[in-house]
Structure 1
Amino acid sequence: MAKITKEAALLYHSQGKPGKIEVIPTKPYSTQTDLSLAYSPGVAEPCLEI
């Protein structure tokens, strides 16, 4: 593995979009009801089925 310099690391992290990982929803969420279906309490029913 190549040696990573301080300068290279600072340059890498200073460019582009911040962060390393992105979570993208698979369903649209625009209301509190949508979120309730996806999370608690709505997620309980599918979990119980499993």
Structure 2
Amino acid sequence: MRTNFFQERAGGEPHDYVSMKFDPQAIPDLPPRPACPATPPARGRGRSPP
């Protein structure tokens, strides 16, 4: 598991949220991950407008 619990904002204060990332292979009975994403990424994501 990874977390942002110990990270601080630029001002040294803690975040208003906690993020966690689990290793799916370490969780028993979890179904396998699909071969392709369920939804395609948004078009134009990450690009600035013309």
TM-score w.r.t. the length of structure 2 is 0.22
Q: Which has the higher strand share?
A: 2
Q: Which has the higher helix share?
A: 1
Bigger-Rg structure (1/2): 1
Point out which structure has higher relative CO (alpha carbons under 8 A, 6+ apart).
2
TM-score w.r.t. the length of structure 1 is 0.22
